[in-house]
Structure 1
Amino acid sequence: MNPRNFFTELKRRNVYKIAIGYGVVAWLLLQAASILFPTFEAPPWTMKVFVAVTALGFPIALIIAWAFELTPEGLKRTELADELPKKSSRNRAWIYVVVIAGAISIGLFLLGRFTAAPKQSASADFPAKSIAVLPFENFSQDKAFAFFADGVQDEILTDLAKIADLKVISRTSVMQYKNTSSRNLPEIAQALKVAHVLEGSVQRSANRVRVSAQLIDARNDTHVWADKYDRDLADVFAIQSEIAQKIADQLQAKISPRERSAIEKQPTKDLAAYDLYVRATDAIDAAPTTQNIKENFLEAITLLEQAIARDPAFFNAYCKLAQAHAQLYLFGEDHTRARLVSAEQAINAALRLQPDAGEAHWAQAGLLYSKLDYDGARAEIEIARRSLPNDARVFELSGYIDRRQGRWPESARNLERALEVDPNNVSILWQIALSYESLRDYAKDAAVLDRILALKPNDLDARLARGQLEVAWRADTRPLHEVIESSMQQDPASGKRLAPLRIFLASAERDAGAAERALADLGDDTYGPDAIQFSRAFGEGQLARWKGDAAAAHASFTTARVAQQRIVDAQPDYGPALCVLGLIDAGLGRQEDALREGRRAVELTPLSKDSINGPIIMGFFAVICAWVGEKDLAIEQLTRALQLPGRLNYGGLRLSPSWDPLRGDPRFEAIVASLAPKEVHD
C-alpha cells in the first residue's frame, strides 16, 4: 500500500476521528479522576496507574478502528464491510462510541486486574518482612521439658532477630501467648503489628527430638511453609538454625555473610549446660515481677555458673551472668565492689570468646551504665546495635542512658522504638510512664498506665500506680486508698507487699494507726523512691516525729543510724545511702553531720551522671535542711530540684509530713500553689 492510499484508508476507516475522540474523552476522564480520587482518599499510586492504563488504551482504540467497522449487520472486519452499502453518519457516530467505550472497558479491566488486592486483614498494612515467633508447644511426655521448648523457640527468634532485613518481635511480647487454649493468629499478628507468625511444637524423648514448625501469612491466614524435623537430640541447634534460615528465605530477607555466620553458630555442645542456661534466663526475665528480685538474680547466677563449669566456652552464659551481677549492683541489692568485679570478670570472659558479638557489647554497656559511665555505655550500645538490629534491649538501654543524661526527648524516642519490636512489653511501658511522671506530664502518664491496664486489666501494680498518680497530680488520696483497701480485703496476705505504699498513704493522710500497722508489716524490708531506701526503724522515727513524740523519734533514729552506718561503710561513695544517713542525722538533730552528708550525697550523684536519682537526692537534701532549721537553704534546694524532671510533685509537697517545718513560709506556700493543677481549688 502506497502512502497516499494508506492515509486514505486511515480516513476511510475513521482512525483519525477515533484518535481525536479518544484524546478528548481521555482528557475529560483524567480531569475527573484528578478531582474524585483525592476526594475518596485513593492511594497516590492509583492516579499513576489510571494515567498509564489510559495511555495504553490509545493504541488499542486505533487498532480496533482500523480492523473493525460497525455495520447494520453488526461489528465486522473492515474488508467485509467494503462490500456493503455506505453507512449513514449516524452509524459512523456509533463507531466512535463503541470503539472508545471498548478501549476504556479494556483499560478499566486491566486496572482492576493488575491493581486489585485480595481481601486481607488489617495486618496487610504491616511490613511484609515482619514476623512473631510464638512460644512452641511442649509435646514431651515429661512436662518438665517445657523450658526446653521455650529454649528452642527463643533460639529461632534470636537467630531471626540478627537479620537486619527483618522486623522480629522480641521475646517478652510473644511469651504472653504461651499456654493459651486457642490462638487466633490474625488477631495476634494485628496486636503485634506483623504480617507473619511462626508457631511450632517440640517433643523430646530420651536422645531424640522432634520439632515441627509452620509459617502463617496473617494477612490472609494462609500457610506459607511447614516442616518437621525428627533427629538426634544433639542436632537440636542445627534444627534451630535451619528453621531460621528457611523462614528468612520464605520472607525473601537479605542475609549478609556475617548474619549467616552468626545464625549458624551453635551456643554450646553441652545440652545439660544449655538446659541450665534456659532456666537461668527464665529466672532473670521473671525478676522484675517478683517480690524478691535479689533471690531471682542469685538463682540465675548459680545456674549460669553451673552451665559455665560444664562448658567454659559458653559465650551466652557469660553474657547472662554479667547481666545478673550488673543488675544486682544497679538496683542497689548488692552495690559492692565485689559484685562489680564479678560482673567485669564475666564480661571479659565473653569478650575473649567473641570480641565482636553484639550480646557482649550490650552486656558491657549495661555494666558501664551501672557504674554511671554513660558515655562509655553509649559507645558500647552503638557497637551492639550493628549486630542486634531487632533487639528491643538495645533501644531500651539507649533510652535509659539518654534519660540518665537528661536527654528526655531522645529517651522517649528510643523507648518508643523498643516498643515497635516489643509492643506488649509492660516493663518498657512502665519506663515510659516513669518518664512522663518525672516530666510532670500527668495526662500522658495516665494514658500510658491505662494502656498497661488494657493489656493487664487485673494488674495490681498498674492500679496502684494509677492511684499514686492522683496523689501526685491532684493531692487526692482516695483512689489509692480504695485500691489498697480492696486488695487487702481480697487477699489479707498482701499487706506485707503493700506495706511501702501503705506507709506513704498513711503519712499523706496523717493516719498514725495505719502507719504503725504498715511499718509492722514491713518487717525487715525497705521502702522509698528508687535508690533511696528506708528501714522500718527510720519509718518509726519519722512517724514519732510528726506525732510530736521526740523521745520515741530519737530512739528509732538511733537504731536506724547503726544499721545505715554499716551500709555507708561498705559503700562510702554511694550517694543514696549517704543521703539516708543525712536524713537520720537530721532527725537526731546532728546538724553539722546531716548537712555534710547531704551535700556529699548531692556531689556523688551529679545530674550529669544520674538525672533520675540526682533530683531525688537534691529534694531530700532540702528536707535535711528544713529539719535542721536551715529554711533558706531548704527553699533554695527545693527550687533547684523542681526546675528539673523528677519525683517531687504537688501532692507530696502538700501532704507529706516531711515538709512540715516549711509550712507557713510564704515562699514554700507559693511553690506548692504553683504546682497545683488548674482544676484544684483549695
Structure 2
Amino acid sequence: MSSEPEQHPKVEIGHVLTMDVVEYSTLLITEQTRVMGELTSIVKNTERFQRGESEGNLVRIPTGDGMALVFFDDPQAPIECAMEIAGALKSHPEIGLRMGIHSGPVNAVVDVSDRANVAGAGIDMAQRVMDCGDAGHILLSKRVADDLAPFPRWNPLLHELGECEVKHGRKISLVNFYTDEIGNPALPQKCVAHGTKRTGDKISRPWPRDIAFIGTVILGIVIFTPVVFRIASRTGASSKTSKSARSSISVNTKSIAVLPFENLSRDPDNAYFADGIQEEILTRLSKIADLKVISRTSTQRYKGTPTNLLEIAKQLGVAHILEGTVQKAADQVRVNVQLINAQTDSHLWAEKFDRNLADIFAVESEIATKIADTLQTKLSGSEQKAIAARPTKNSEAHQLYLKGRYFLKKRTEEGLKKSIEFFNQAIDKDSGYALAYSGLADSNMYLLRLGFLRGVSRKETDERAKAAATKALELDDNLAEAHTSLALVKMEYEWDWTGSEREFQRAIQLDPGFAEAHHQYSHYLTAMGRSSESLTESLRALELDPLSLVLNAHLAWHYLYARQYDQAIQQCQKASELDRNYPETAEFRGLAYEQKGMYQEAIAELQTAINLSGGSPHMKAELGHAYAIAGETTQALDILNELKRGSTETHISSYDIAVIHVGLGRKERALEALENAYQERSEWLRYVRVDPRLDPLRGDPRFEKLADQIVPPDVK
C-alpha cells in the first residue's frame, strides 16, 4: 500500500474547539507537566468528549500548551464540551485556560510520526479566535455564533465583540460566550489594544429561510460525508458513520415523540386504555431502526399540559409530534390522531378511526405504518411484521393486559401486586399471550429490585420472574421486553454473565429504540468493569428518553462507578433540574462527595436522600459507611444496629452491612457479611469488582476468592 499522500485529500467540515493555558511557558517544567495532566484529565472526563470518542466522531490534537478537539457529528459539540471544561476548572483556579471555537474545512494528513491526523483552515481559524482571548474566555467565530443564535438555549449567552485584528492585519468578527457561572465577560485585552468597541449586543436570529439553508447545508455535510478520522486509540477500527450523527441546527427529520393520548371516555377508569394505546403505538414505532422514537417516560411529562409543540420538540430533540385522543364505550372505540411537523407547526396527516375493540391492533398498526410512510423511513421485512403484529385475538385479555401495564408503571408495592393480578387474569383468558407473560416477569423483577418481598422470598420471586420470561420467549422469541427481563434475572440473581449479555444484545437487536434495554445493559457493563461501553449505552438510553429522572440520575451513577466523581456531581445537578426531590439524585451526589473526601457534604446529601426516600434501609447503610470513614464511629454503629434490628421485619442485604464494616475498618466482619450476601444472592454483589467502597478489601485472598465466584475473571 502506498504511503504517499492523496493528490486530493478528502475535505470535511470540522467543529473545532481549541484551548491553551495562558502564560504556560512561564511555568516550571514540573508545574507544566502537572497542569497539562490535570487539563487532559478534565477534558477526557467530560461527557461530550466521551460521547464523541465512543462514536468515533472526534480527533484530539495536542498543541504543547493545550489541545484542539475536532468534532464531526454536531455543531453544538464544541460549546457543550467547553461548558463542561469551564465548569470543572472552577475548582482549579490556578489553570488559566482560554478557548476558541470555529466550524470550517479540515482534511486528513499524516504527521511527522506517520500517524493519521487532521489540519486545515477550520483549525487555523479556531486558533486565531482563541488567540484573541484572555484567561477564562470562551470566544466564538461569528459563523459559529450565527449557527447557534436561533436556539433559545444559546442565544442569551452570545455577546458580540465586533472585529479584532489578528496576524497580518486580518480582522475577524468575534462573539463572547459566558453565563453567570462560566466564561469571562470582560473585553479581551487584544480587542482593547486594537480599539474594538464592545457592543455587548445579543446575536440576532437569522431569517427562517436562512436557518433552513444553513441547516440543509450542514446536515448534508454531516450525513453524506463519511467520518474517516478516529482518535488515536481507535485508529484502524472499521470506519462507519454513526447513525446518531446529526446536525442540531436541522433536527433529524426521522424522529418523533408520541404524546400522551387524551382520555375522552365518560368513565375516568378508562384512562388505562388511552395510556395503553399510546404506549403500544410508541412500541411499534420503536422497532423501526431508521426512526428515532422518544420513550414514554419522557413524553409522559406533557400529559395534560398546554401544548407548545415547538418547545416540546426542542426539549425532546425531535422533528415530529403525534397527538391523539381515545374514547371507549362498551365494545366500541374511537381513536383520533394527528401527525405534526413541530418545526413548521404544520399538520402532515390526521385521521379518525371508529372500530370495534377487537380491531384495535389493526388501528395501531395502521397508524404506525402511516407514520413510517410519511416520514419516509426504511422498513425491513421483520420490521413490517413487527408493527403489524396482533399479540392476542382475545379483546378481554388485551384490556386486562393494558390494566396490568398501567399499574406496573406506578412502581409501588400495591401497584406491582395489582399488575400481577391483571397479567395473570389476561393469561387465564389467553394462555398464549406472550406479552402478558413478559409483563408478569417485569412485575416480579420490580418486586425484587424495590425490595417489596412481604411474605415471599427472593428466590421464589426470582423463579417466578424467570419462569414468566422464559414462557414469553417460548411463545414469541421476538419480544425485546422478555429478553430484557430474562437478561435481568441472569444478571441480578443468577450471575450468568454470558447468558445475560446475550439476552441484552438480542433485545437491542430486536428493538433498537427500547431505552430500558440500553439502560439495563449499561448496568451489566458497569458490573463487568467496562465503563466506557457502559457510559455509551447509558447515553444512548438518555437520547431515547431525555427527560427520564431515572436515566438522568443513573448516568451520574455510571460516572460514579467509572470513578469520574466530578462528572457524577455535574450530572446530579442536571437531574436535579428535572426534580429536586428525587432521592437517588441526592444519594449519588453524596456517594461522589464521599469518594472525593468531602465527608460532611456526603453525609448531608445522604441524609437528604433518606428523608426523600421515606427511610430506605439501603441508603441508611450508605450513610453508615460515610459516617464510618469520616471518623464518626458512634453514628455509624447506631445505623448498623438499627439495620440489624430492622432485619427481623424486612429484608436487609448483608452487602449493606458489609459496607459499614468496611468503613469501620472491620475487615473480618466485612468479609463475613459479604459471604452471607453471597448466600442471599444479593443483587449488589454484581458490582463487587467495581464498588470503590470495597477497595480496602482488594488483594485479600478471601475477598478475591469470593469475587471470582461472582464475576469470574474470564467473563469480563
TM-score normalised per structure 1:
0.59
Which among 539, 542, 553 is matched to residue 416 of structure 1? 539
Matches within 5 A, 1:279-678: 279-287=403-411, 290=412, 294-329=413-448, 336-370=458-492, 371-459=494-582, 461-463=584-586, 465-467=588-590, 469-477=592-600, 481=604, 510=632, 536=642, 538=644, 563=648, 577=654, 580=657, 597=672, 600=675, 612-614=687-689, 619=694, 622=697
Q: Does 1:265 pair with 2:389?
A: yes
Which among 244, 248, 255 is matched to residue 130 of structure 1? 255
Which among 277, 301, 307 is matched to residue 152 of structure 1? 277
Question: Structure 2 CA distance, aligned partners of 1:452 and 1:368?
Answer: 29
Question: Structure 2 CA distance, aligned partners of 1:513 and 1:637?
Answer: 27
Sort the Cα spacing of 1:597 and 1:168 in 2 relative to 1 into closer, same or farther, 3 A.
same
Q: Which amino acid in the other structure matches residue 257 of structure 2?
A: A
Contact 1:602/1:617, CA 8 A, preserved across alignment: no
Q: 1:324-345 CA distances to partner (integer Å, 9 max, x unpaired)? A: 2234445665564332332232
Structure 1 unpaired stretches of 5+: 1-33, 44-110, 520-533, 541-559, 569-575, 624-631, 642-682
Contact 2:556/2:568, CA 8 A, preserved across alignment: yes
Sort the Cα spacing of 1:354 and 1:410 in 2 relative to 1 into closer, same or farther, 3 A.
same
Q: What does residue 330 of structure 2 align with?
A: 206
TM-score normalised per structure 2:
0.56
Question: Structure 1 CA distance, aligned partners of 2:690 and 2:370?
Answer: 51
Which among 300, 303, 314 is matched to residue 190 of structure 1? 314
Structure with greater Cα Rg: 1
Residue aligned with 1:253, SS: coil
Question: Structure 2 CA distance, aligned partners of 1:264 and 1:456?
Answer: 38
Q: What does residue 530 of structure 1 align with?
A: none
Q: RMSD of the TM alignment (CA)? A: 4.8
Question: Structure 1 CA distance, aligned partners of 2:398 and 2:320?
Answer: 28
**C-alpha displacement of 1:269:** 3.0
Sort the Cα spacing of 1:124 and 1:269 in 2 relative to 1 into closer, same or farther, 3 A.
farther
Residue aligned with 2:409, SS: helix
Sort the Cα spacing of 1:393 and 1:216 in 2 relative to 1 into closer, same or farther, 3 A.
same
Sort the Cα spacing of 1:513 and 1:618 in 2 relative to 1 into closer, same or farther, 3 A.
closer
Contact 2:603/2:627, CA 8 A, preserved across alignment: no
Sort the Cα spacing of 1:285 and 1:515 in 2 relative to 1 into closer, same or farther, 3 A.
farther
Residue aligned with 1:286, SS: coil
Question: Structure 2 CA distance, aligned partners of 1:502 and 1:362?
Answer: 32
Contact 2:621/2:657, CA 8 A, preserved across alignment: no
**C-alpha displacement of 1:595:** 8.1
Q: 1:188-211 CA distances to partner (integer Å, 9 max, x unpaired)? A: 111111111111111112222111
Question: Structure 1 CA distance, aligned partners of 2:483 and 2:679?
Answer: 27
Question: Structure 1 CA distance, aligned partners of 2:215 and 2:642?
Answer: 66
**C-alpha displacement of 1:215:** 0.8
Q: What does residue 571 of structure 1 align with?
A: none
Q: What does residue 95 of structure 2 align with?
A: none
Structure 2 unpaired stretches of 5+: 1-119, 126-140, 146-208, 219-246, 708-716
Q: What does residue 161 of structure 1 align with?
A: 286
- Which has more helix, going by share of residues? 1
Question: Structure 2 CA distance, aligned partners of 1:486 and 1:384?
Answer: 33
Question: Structure 1 CA distance, aligned partners of 2:660 and 2:340?
Answer: 60
- Which has more strand, going by share of residues? 2
Q: 1:557-615 CA distances to partner (integer Å, 9 max, x unpaired)? A: xxx7xx59x989xxxxxxx648849999x99x9x99x58835745987999x9551455
Identity between Structure 1 and Structure 2 (%)? 31
Contact 2:654/2:674, CA 8 A, preserved across alignment: no
**C-alpha displacement of 1:145:** 1.2
Question: Structure 2 CA distance, aligned partners of 1:199 and 1:452?
Answer: 27
Q: Does 1:218 pair with 2:342?
A: yes
Sort the Cα spacing of 1:385 and 1:469 in 2 relative to 1 into closer, same or farther, 3 A.
closer
Question: Structure 2 CA distance, aligned partners of 1:269 and 1:406?
Answer: 45
Question: Structure 2 CA distance, aligned partners of 1:537 and 1:139?
Answer: 49
Question: Structure 2 CA distance, aligned partners of 1:439 and 1:220?
Answer: 42
Q: Which amino acid in the other structure matches residue 442 of structure 2?
A: Q
Q: Which amino acid in the other structure matches residue 363 of structure 1?
A: S
**C-alpha displacement of 1:408:** 0.8
Sort the Cα spacing of 1:357 and 1:469 in 2 relative to 1 into closer, same or farther, 3 A.
closer
Q: What does residue 161 of structure 2 align with?
A: none
**C-alpha displacement of 1:242:** 0.8
Question: Structure 1 CA distance, aligned partners of 2:580 and 2:656?
Answer: 37
Q: Does 1:250 pair with 2:369?
A: no
Residue aligned with 1:125, SS: coil
Equivalent pairs counted in the alignment come to 473
Q: 1:433-480 CA distances to partner (integer Å, 9 max, x unpaired)? A: 112222332210111101101222444553454455444434342585
Q: What does residue 102 of structure 1 align with?
A: none
Sort the Cα spacing of 1:350 and 1:601 in 2 relative to 1 into closer, same or farther, 3 A.
same
Sort the Cα spacing of 1:495 and 1:220 in 2 relative to 1 into closer, same or farther, 3 A.
same
Sort the Cα spacing of 1:622 and 1:241 in 2 relative to 1 into closer, same or farther, 3 A.
same
Question: Structure 1 CA distance, aligned partners of 2:461 and 2:394?
Answer: 28
Residue aligned with 2:353, SS: strand
Question: Structure 2 CA distance, aligned partners of 1:486 and 1:603?
Answer: 27
